[in-house]
Amino acid sequence: MSDSRVIEKAYEAARERYAELGVDTDKAMSQLSRTAISLHCWQGDDVGGFEKTAEGLSGGGIMATGAYPGKARTADELRADIEKAMSLIPGKHRLNLHAMYAEAAGKVERNELGAEHFTAWLDWAKANELGLDFNGTFFSHPKAESGFTLSSADEEIRKFWVEHGIACRKIGAAMGKELGTACVTNLWIPDGFKDIPMDRKGPRERLRKSLDEIFAEKIERKRLLDSVESKLFGIGSECYVVGSHEFYMGYAVENRVLLCLDTGHFHPTEVVSDKISSVMTFLDEILLHVSRGVRWDSDHVVILSDELRSIAEELVRGDYLERVHIGLDFFDASINRVAAWVIGTRCMLKALLIALLEPTQKLREMELAGDYTARLAMLEEHKTLPFGAVWDYYCLKENTPAQADWLKEIRDYEAKVTSLR
Ligand code: RNT
Ligand code: ZN
């Protein structure tokens, strides 16, 4: 168990050290506490969902691997797991739901879903004072098996998914209204070809038409924020993805919807940290799906990597925290699923804290003065500043376990709850 007196002492020393550089640690912590991360419900059950006929993930070109015991089998179990995870993460956050997590008695088709199928989630969100975000589920469904949904040449299939998209916006708007905080409702479709297409144009024209139909109804932004997510390739769509980055960038700029940048959806040498200031020049707001790409997998648990730190730095340096919605998107079925949420979210917060503790103004002055020697020297010196002491103190202040104390709680929860499933 960590000793709070040791943490407080270390914090005092860190506070002085940062003050010497003109950085106010208390201000950084208060900014951090105002930044909400949207936790993705699908980490809790390997992107399974609760549809009566669902056989797990299929036809979406996304895949959770591993067989760690204890995954949530019902919405109540999933909610309990999320509550556990949130109790181990400092700050107040949000929950990101997917349409396939509806709780309906009997089977309700995806194009017929309504807010009434999410009342238990809504009541729970209210009771826990959480904002909700939402996603259409355009995969793991017989009507997605051809590999095409909104861009399908089969008019009946295309219509079905357009209706699903419209239904999801209504659900998102109802959630936003009910909870008094805009619901970011994201749209990702798996559409694409495994092998070389001969028609790249047709599906993209159909996708544009479908999106226009889905977004036709104007809904107040204080309730609903629409977002569209691109991808470079997926399993089974290696040669061509209809909803590419260029496609959605154009669509988002033209239609003033949010663009979702998933950090695992680009070429391995491309980084989202470098894209943020470019897209923010043309867009009001964006959504991030923070993930960790490893070789061909786009969804490893987020760690405190150089790129995660760079993303957080961009958000802080560009003063984008109010305009960028931070969501997580990873799934790992090979480790304790509740721990995966805790690790990933705590890392996202640590990256933000490190960025908030940066003497940005001083570094900017060096750059403007052309003193690139000092810029490099100071950036490297800052890497060993005592941010860990500030982080531990922040956890303590927010009444969440500091250091690795949270792991013991996961072990207890595993023994008492998840291992009995
Ligand atoms: C898939 C996208 C998408 C999904 C979730 C489950 O490649 O990243 O965001 O991960 O909708
Ligand atoms: Zn994503």
DSSP string, 370-404: T-HHHHHHHHHHHTTS-HHHHHHHHHHHTTS--TT
User: If you compute the radius of gyration of the chain from its CA atoms, what whole number of angstroms results?
Assistant: 22
Is 191 among the domain residues? yes
Q: Identify whether 392 is a catalytic site residue.
A: no
Active site residue 325: no
170 exposure class (CB count in 10 Å sphere: 0-12, 13-18, 19+): middle
3-state secondary structure of 300: strand
* Alpha-carbon span 225 to 210, nearest angstrom: 18
Ramachandran region, residue 58 (left: φ > 0; alpha: ψ -120 to 50; beta: rest): beta
The candidate with the shortest Cα–Cα distance to 164, out of 121, 118, 214, 209, is 214
Establish whether 245 is a catalytic residue: no
One-letter amino acid of 197: P
Structure tokens at 78: 């999933």
Nearest CA owner, ligand 1 atom 9: 188
Give residue ranges with CB within 6 A of ligand 1. Answer: 42, 47, 62, 135, 188, 229, 231, 234, 262, 289, 329
| In a domain? residue 396 | no
**What distances in angstroms separate CA 393 from CA 73, 113, 117, 399, one per listed residue?**
36, 44, 41, 10
Going residue by residue through the chain (421 aa), what tens digit of pLDDT does each one get? Answer: 889 999 999 999 999 999 999 999 999 999 999 999 999 999 999 999 999 765 555 567 778 999 999 999 999 999 999 999 999 999 999 999 999 999 987 789 999 999 999 999 999 999 999 999 999 999 999 999 999 999 999 999 999 999 999 999 999 999 999 999 999 999 999 999 999 999 999 999 999 999 999 999 999 999 999 999 999 999 999 999 999 999 999 999 999 999 999 999 999 999 999 999 999 999 999 999 999 999 989 899 999 999 999 999 999 999 999 999 999 999 999 999 999 999 999 999 999 999 999 999 999 999 999 999 999 999 999 999 999 999 999 999 999 999 999 999 999 999 999 999 9
Residue 220 lies in a domain: yes
Q: Output the domain CATH number for residue 227.
A: 3.20.20.150
**Pocket residue to mutate for ligand 1, from 43, 62, 96, 260, most atoms within 8 A of Cβ:** 62
CA 72 to each of CA 26, 48, 124, 199, 310: distance values in angstroms, whole numbers, following the listed order: 38, 9, 16, 42, 33
Task: Give residue 62 CA to ligand 2 midpoint distance, Å.
Answer: 10
Is 24 marked active-site?
A: no
Residue owning the nearest CA to atom 7 of ligand 1: 62
Are 164 and 99 in contact by the 8 Å Cβ rule? The answer is yes
Q: Which residues contact 156 (CB under 8 A, 6 or more apart)?
A: none
What is the predicted pLDDT for the residue at 388? 98
Least Cα distance to 231 among 285, 168, 297 occurs for 297
Set 42, 124, 188, 341: catalytic member: 188
Q: What is the pLDDT of residue 122?
A: 98
Total domains, the chain: 1
Whether 9 is catalytic is no
Whether residue 11 lies inside any domain: the answer is no
- Going from the Cα of 212 to the center of ligand 2, the distance in angstroms, rounded, reads 21
* Residue-level pLDDT at 56: 54
Residue 403: Cβ within 10 Å count: 16
> Which residue in the list 245, 265, 325, 350 is annotated as catalytic?
265
List the domain range (segments joined by +) for residue 130: 37-77+91-341
Q: Is residue 402 part of a domain?
A: no
In a domain, 393, yes or no: no
**How many degrees, rounded to 5, is the angle at CA 100 between CA 34 and CA 41?**
30
Q: What is the secondary structure of 307-372 as a DSSP string?
A: HHHHHHHHHHHTT-TTTEEEEE----SSS-HHHHHHHHHHHHHHHHHHHHTS-HHHHHHHHHTT-H
Nearest C-alpha to atom 10 of ligand 1 is from which residue? 329
Asked if 313 and 360 count as a contact pair (C-beta separation under 8 A), the reply is no
290 in a structural domain:
yes
Residue 123 lies in a domain: yes
Identified catalytic residue from 81, 191, 262, 358: 262
Residue 121 annotated to the active site: no
30 contacts: CB under 8 Å, gap ≥ 6: none
Q: Is 329 annotated as catalytic?
A: yes
CA of 262 to the centre of ligand 2 (A): 5
Of the residues 98, 141, 143, 289, only one is catalytic, namely: 289
Among 133, 285, 329, 392, the one annotated catalytic: 329
Known catalytic residue at 46? no
